[in-house]
């Protein structure tokens, strides 16, 4: 998509964006997203340290 947008090919860029929008499962505050990432990282690190 960056190449399409940079080239001014907005039809192609829009097609990529419309495909990507389908992958959104939920909209949540940034703090909740960061908290989830931190929790997953802590769990992964704890498993490796066993």
pLDDT digit of tens for each residue in the chain (50 aa)?
567 656 776 666 666 666 667 778 888 999 999 999 999 999 999 999 86
Residue 37 has a pLDDT of: 95
For residue 14, give the nearest of 27, 22, 23, 5 by alpha carbon.
Answer: 5
For 7-36, letters b (16+ CB in 10 Å) and e give: eeeeeebeeeeeeeeeeeeeeeeeeeeeee
- pLDDT at residue 16, as a whole number: 60
Tell me, what's the pLDDT at 7? 72
Q: Where are the alpha helices (DSSP H) in the chain?
A: 2-6, 10-21, 30-48
pLDDT at 29: 94
Within 10 angstroms of residue 38's Cβ, the number of other Cβ atoms is 10
| Whole-number pLDDT of residue 21 | 72
């Amino acid at each position: 998509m960056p190449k399409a947008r940079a080239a001014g090919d907005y039809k192609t860029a829009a097609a990529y964006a419309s495909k990507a929008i389908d992958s959104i499962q939920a909209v949540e505050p940034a703090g909740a997203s960061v908290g989830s990432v931190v929790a997953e990282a802590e769990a992964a690190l704890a498993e490796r340290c066993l």
